[in-house]
Amino acid sequence: MKPFKNLEVWFVTGSQHLYGDDVLKEVAQNSEEIAKYFDASEEIPVKVV
């Protein structure tokens, strides 16, 4: 249970279009996985999106 359930932290990443669509999709997928991992942690008292 997140003690600060009304608060959230945004996990923001970025890349450049110069690397192509495949790389951008991979960055987005990896970022989503990392955010979900952090959000599942009981040590982080806020929601991570």
pLDDT tens, 19-45? 899 999 999 999 999 999 999 999 999
Give the pLDDT of residue 1.
80
In a domain, 2, yes or no: no
In a domain, 1, yes or no: no
Give the pLDDT of residue 29.
96
In a domain, 20, yes or no: yes
Q: Is beta strand 47-48 parallel, antiparallel or unpaired with respect to 8-9?
A: parallel
Burial class (CB in 10 A: 0-12, 13-18, 19+), 7: exposed
Q: How many domains does the chain have?
A: 1
Q: Answer for the pair 9, 45: CB distance below 8 angstroms, yes or no.
A: no
Domain of residue 34, residue span: 8-48
Rounded to whole angstroms, how far apart are CA atoms 23 and 16?
9
CA distances from 45 to 8, 15, 42, 49 (A): 9, 28, 7, 13
Give the pLDDT of residue 44.
96
Q: Decide which of 11 and 15 is more confident.
A: 11
